[in-house]
Structure formats: C-alpha cells, structure tokens
C-alpha cells in the first residue's frame, strides 16, 4: 500500500533554518506512514512575496489529495495574516509562542526579522567562527601540529572515521577550535605519538564499525588493501585498545550523524559554544 | 538601568538543535530588554536524566529573581511529565504541535527519539554530505580546478570575502557541491580567467564592504599592503564591475551571517538541498 502524500511548506521571513528544523523534527514522527514533500520559501519580506507564497501553495492544493500543511515563522502580523488565506493547515509557530512569552516577560516583542542572525555580537561571532574554521582547516588530518596548544579539542581516529566533518561542524556551529590527527596503520600499536603526548587531556576518540569503515573506504579506493575488511578490523581494534588503555574518551560514530557526534562531544567534554 | 536577567533551559532527548534553534529565534525578539542566560541539556533518555535536569533547573530557580523558562523537545510523555515539576515556565514544543498533527494526519506519532537524524536514507545523506565536504576542501581557494564540471556552484570573490565558510556550510548542511576561486589582485581587471569561462553559468559572486574586508585582513596580516583600505577598495570595485559586466549574480556579505549567505544563494540559484 502506498503512503498518503502530503505537501509541506516551510515559510520564513529569513533563512528558513528555524522553521525547517522544527518542522522536520515534528514530521519525522509520522514519516513511517506518510510521504512528505517539502518546499521551503525563504526571505518573505513584502506583502507581494507573502501573496506569491499563498499562490504557490494554493496551486499545490488544487491537485493534491489532502490539503497542504504550512509551518511558518513570520514576525510581521500582516504577512502571517496573508498566509491564513492559503487553502492549507497553518502552523503559525511564532504566533503560538510569542504571546505567552510577551505575557511572561511583561514586554512586547521587537518584531525584528532575522534577529537570531543579526546581532550586536555579530562581528565577534563571525570572527570566532571564521577563525575556528581556519584553525580546523589548517590542523586537519595532522596537516599541521603547530598550534596544538591553542586547540580546545584534538580528535583521534583511523582514516575516514569522520574526524574532518566533525571538526568543521564544531568550528562552524560552535566556534570550537578543533584539530584532528589521523593514526595511520603503521603508528597504531606503538602507543601515543610523541607529538600528542603533551595534549593528552584534549584528546577525544572516534571509532566506527569495521564494516561501515570498509564501505566508506571502498567508495574511494575500491579493492585496495586500505579498504579491505581485514585492515579495517585490525585498525579499529588497535585504536579502541589505545583509547581504553590511555583512558581517552571516545564515541562510536557508526550510526550517528555529524550533528549527533558533535553534540555528544560537547556534552562529554563540557565544551561550550563560543557564540549564540 | 540593567536589564532583568532570565535563565533559559533548552532540554532535548537528542542533540538539542531543534529546541535551541527555535528558542533562540523566539527570544531574540526580546533581547533588547532582557538578558538571557542559556543552558542546553541534551540526550535526556531516562527518568533519572529527566529528574537531574529538573534538579539543575530548580537550583537556578532558588536564587533567580524570576522563574526560569524551559523550552523542551522531548518525545516521551513520561519525561515531559517530569519536566512539569520544575519551578519554571515550560514550553513543551512537541506537546504543542504533535496532537494537532496527529489529528490532521489521522495517525499516532511514532515516539521515536532523534528521528530527524536517524533515517533510512541516513547512509546516503551521510555519503552525500561527506562527499560534498571533501569536494569543497579539495576545491577551496582555487587549490584544484580538476573537477569543476562536477561543481554545482563556483563562488567568486576577493580574498577573505567569506567564500570558504560559505562553501563548507553549503556542503555540510545541503550536500551542495561547491567550489571557490579567489580572484587575486593581479587577475582583477583582465576579465574572467580562462579556467572559469566554460563554467560561467555556475558562477556566483560574493562581495563585501571594503571597510569590513580591511578589518578582516588586518587581523591576519596587520599593516600589510594586502590589508590596506586602498587595496580593499580597489579590489572590491574591480570585482563588482566584473560581476556586473558578466551578469554574474552576486550578494553583499557585509552584514550577513554564513547561514543567511547560504540561504540567499540557494534561493537565487534554485539549488536544492540534496538530503532532508
């Protein structure tokens, strides 16, 4: 039996990040039984643009079996009002929360569009993030070990275990200064490389199921020794032994998204994001 | 007069991305008049962890002038129920939306924690993102031009105008295959470098106010020619002329976050994210 199909629209006066994050998270609870098709409409900042969004949604409504669903984060009341004219179920997210917040805080909201990303500390945040990204790039995969004393965390793992994307995500989203060091096959089993020894308190390990590691390596270097299951098994076994022996905290990244790995690292290390 | 201070807790059974994104976005509407202090409590997946969260929040409540505010995205009812015991104002975000969604869809929600990031297409998404990140790294700053035919977009801009973080963000969050090419001072004014000519339809420009460019360059190479206001002015002027002359779409990144630049690029180019 095919799943019923529902058209979903995320409508925002800014980037659409807030609304699509929340909407995806809510609808994921139903996706075993419904097929969702998502459209994100961003930067609605005029009456015309709001009316165009309604037109676009109503076009879908005409042919769809069920009415579309809209999740909207629009600050301006007039635009929110225009959206109510769509032939759709509307979740007006700001509408739902702003009023109780106004009551609790005893204040009116500022009706400032795109506020989250346009703040006083903007410049500082921007510099922090860019600096952290540059640091991650310069200290990726052991490329440089020069400024390890500045690193807040140094990720260890076998090649292709997800160190690079995790470092970049930590830098981009939390301005965390993260380096990573690959423990190559030849080094494994000899204890901690001397370059890392002064930084042992900052080390954090990533590991991965050998079968998944094999699949990832196979994509890049098919049928190589490096991508053989045997090699992957030995490397993973050796690095996990090292983590345990030196009491380096580590997590298994096998079925874990970059977001989850990063959030787990922050939780376990107590590192805090360096901007809002 | 100092602003009243409110303690805010983001409580999640997973990464906390959804709840902190929404909470920050809502509270940004009030931050001119209130000082918020944020704490994120992630991976609440047992009764004990939920009770610990309540304890932590109640500790703050004891000494705070106003009651704390909680934003929570917890799927499991028992954990949500435990949170209601906190001495705080609770915004139960899933509670607010899941029931109307159940009614509309005629279905019960699946109560699956961390669902957004643990899907069937997980592996595909992971590969797409990792491949896009690798592509961005290999084709950063003109380092390689080998696989430009595979690029979905090639960013152009003067040095330090934000090309690298934008490419990485597009890759990380949307699995968009993005390269970037720096137009160095000597090249500017000679038209489009020949290497870029076959790819003109994929070019997208970033520009930035010369004063801000100067500040960014100054941080890295203080008092250099490269960082002088004069140099920055000339380079920006030349590159904007090039964008206009060749009708390359471009945006001004001066007061714009990486998130906003990326969302604007997606909107203007019609590129879609390649995973949920």
DSSP-assigned beta bridge partners for residue B157: B182
Are A132 and A231 a contacting pair, CB within 8 Å? no
How many Cβ pairs closer than 8 A exist between chain A and B? 183
Q: How confident is the model over B70-78, as a mean pLDDT?
A: 95
The total domain count for chain B is 2
Q: Are strands B69-73 and B5-12 parallel, antiparallel or unpaired?
A: parallel
Which of A117, A148, A178 finishes a domain? A117
In the predicted model, what is the mean pLDDT of chain A?
Answer: 91
Which of A117, A152, A185 finishes a domain? A117
Token look-up 């460019």 returns B213
| Residue B121 in this model has a pLDDT that exceeds 80 | no
- Write the CB contacts of B130 (distance below 8 Å, at least 6 apart in sequence): A162, A165, A216
What is the rounded radius of gyration, in angstroms, for the C-alpha atoms of chain B? 24
The tokens for B118 are: 């643990």
DSSP-assigned beta bridge partners for residue B155: B180, B204
SS3 B250: strand
- Give tens-digit pLDDT for B9-23: 999 999 999 999 999
| Residue A17 in this model has a pLDDT that exceeds 80 | yes
How far are the Cα atoms of B129, B143, B144 from residue B180, in angstroms, in the given order? 17, 9, 10
How far are the Cα atoms of A167, A177, B34, B128, B141 from residue A171, in angstroms, in the given order? 6, 6, 28, 20, 19
With a pLDDT cut of 90, the percent of chain A lying above it is 79
Residue A258: closest CA among chain B residues belongs to which residue?
A: B126
Looking at residue A3, the DSSP 8-state letter turns out to be P
B108 and B54 in a common domain: yes
Q: How confident is the model over A63-88, as a mean pLDDT?
A: 96
What is the rounded radius of gyration, in angstroms, for the C-alpha atoms of chain A? 24
The tokens for B10 are: 């983001």
Instruction: State the residue range of the domain holding B73.
Output: 5-117
Whether residues A260 and B114 touch (CB distance < 8 A) is answered with yes
Rounded-to-integer distance, Cα A226 and Cα A176, Å: 31
Nearest CA-CA distance, residue A64 and chain B, Å: 14
Looking at residue A30, the DSSP 8-state letter turns out to be T
B27: domain CATH number is 3.40.50
Residues of B in contact with A127 (CB under 8 A): 216, 219
| Residue B6 in this model has a pLDDT that exceeds 80 | yes
User: Is A16 annotated in some ligand binding site?
Assistant: no
The pLDDT score that the predictor gives to residue A105 is 95
Question: How would you label A227-236 residue by residue, b for 16+ Cβ within 10 Å and e otherwise?
Answer: beeebbebbb
B89 and B44 in a common domain: yes
The pLDDT score that the predictor gives to residue B117 is 47
Are B180 and B202 a contacting pair, CB within 8 Å? no
The pLDDT score that the predictor gives to residue B180 is 96
B185 and B237 in a common domain: yes
Q: Which of A206, A157, A128 is nearest to B258 (CA)?
A: A128
- A57 lies in a domain? yes
- Give tens-digit pLDDT for A125-170: 788 899 999 999 999 988 888 899 999 999 999 999 999 999 999 9
* pLDDT-based confidence at residue A1 (cuts at 50, 70, 90): low
- Give tens-digit pLDDT for B33-56: 999 999 999 999 999 999 999 999
Pick the residue with more confidence: B113 or A37? A37
- B244 lies in a domain? yes
The pLDDT score that the predictor gives to residue B112 is 73
Nearest CA-CA distance, residue B237 and chain A, Å: 23
- Give tens-digit pLDDT for B223-261: 999 999 999 999 999 999 999 999 999 999 998 899 999
A130 and A243 in a common domain: yes
- Write the CB contacts of B113 (distance below 8 Å, at least 6 apart in sequence): B13, B14, B45, B75, B76
- A275 lies in a domain? no
What is the predicted ipTM?
0.89
B258 and B130 in a common domain: yes
B215 and B81 in a common domain: no
Rounded-to-integer distance, Cα A200 and Cα A188, Å: 16
- Report the Cα A153 to chain-centroid distance in Å: 18
- A80 lies in a domain? yes
- A276 lies in a domain? no
B259 and B128 in a common domain: yes
B147 and B99 in a common domain: no
Whether residues B32 and A104 touch (CB distance < 8 A) is answered with no
- A13 lies in a domain? yes
How far are the Cα atoms of B132, B175, B181 from residue B152, in angstroms, in the given order? 10, 10, 14
DSSP A169-201: HHHHHH---EEEEE--TTTTTS-S-GGGGGGGG
Residues of B in contact with A208 (CB under 8 A): none
Whether residues B17 and A116 touch (CB distance < 8 A) is answered with no
The pLDDT score that the predictor gives to residue B146 is 86
Which of B76, B99, B117 finishes a domain? B117
Rounded-to-integer distance, Cα A3 and Cα A110, Å: 42
B157 and B30 in a common domain: no
SS3 B182: strand
How far are the Cα atoms of B22, B121, B122 from residue A163, in angstroms, in the given order? 28, 21, 18
Residues of A in contact with B29 (CB under 8 A): 75, 98, 101, 109-112, 115
Nearest CA-CA distance, residue A199 and chain B, Å: 26
- Give tens-digit pLDDT for A18-60: 999 999 999 999 999 999 999 999 999 999 999 999 999 999 9
A128 and A239 in a common domain: yes
- Give tens-digit pLDDT for A86-99: 999 999 999 999 99
B80 and B43 in a common domain: yes
- A28 lies in a domain? yes
Q: Which residue of B26, B33, B172 is in closest CB contact with A172?
A: B172
A136 and A91 in a common domain: no
- B154 lies in a domain? yes
The pLDDT score that the predictor gives to residue A127 is 83
Test the A interface: residue of B257, B261, B268 with most A CBs within 10 Å: B257
| Residue A212 in this model has a pLDDT that exceeds 50 | yes
The pLDDT score that the predictor gives to residue A229 is 96
């Amino acid at each position: 039996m095919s799943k019923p199909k529902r058209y979903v629209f995320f409508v925002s006066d800014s980037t659409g990040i807030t609304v699509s994050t929340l909407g995806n998270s809510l609808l994921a609870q139903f996706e075993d039984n419904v097929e969702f098709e998502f459209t994100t409409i961003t930067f609605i900042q005029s009456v015309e643009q709001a009316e165009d969004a309604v037109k676009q949604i109503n076009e879908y409504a005409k042919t769809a079996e069920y009415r579309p669903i809209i999740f909207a984060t629009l600050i301006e009341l007039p635009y929110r009002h225009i959206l109510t004219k769509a032939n759709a179920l509307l979740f007006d997210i700001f509408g739902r929360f702003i009023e109780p917040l106004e009551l609790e805080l005893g204040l009116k909201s500022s009706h400032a569009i795109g506020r989250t990303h346009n703040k006083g500390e903007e410049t500082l945040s921007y510099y922090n993030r860019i600096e952290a990204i540059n640091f991650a790039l310069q200290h990726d995969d052991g490329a440089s070990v020069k400024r390890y004393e500045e690193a807040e965390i140094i990720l260890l793992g076998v090649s292709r275990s997800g160190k690079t994307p995790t470092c970049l995500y930590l830098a981009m989203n939390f301005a965390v200064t993260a380096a990573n060091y690959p423990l190559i096959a030849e080094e494994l089993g000899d204890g901690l490389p001397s370059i890392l020894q002064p930084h042992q308190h900052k080390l954090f390990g990533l590991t991965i199921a050998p079968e998944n590691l094999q699949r990832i390596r196979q994509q890049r270097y098919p049928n190589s020794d490096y991508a053989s299951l045997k090699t992957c098994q030995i490397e993973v076994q050796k690095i996990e032994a090292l983590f345990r022996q030196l009491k380096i905290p580590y997590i298994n990244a096998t079925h874990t998204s970059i977001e989850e790995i990063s959030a787990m690292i922050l939780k376990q290390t107590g590192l805090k994001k360096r901007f809002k």
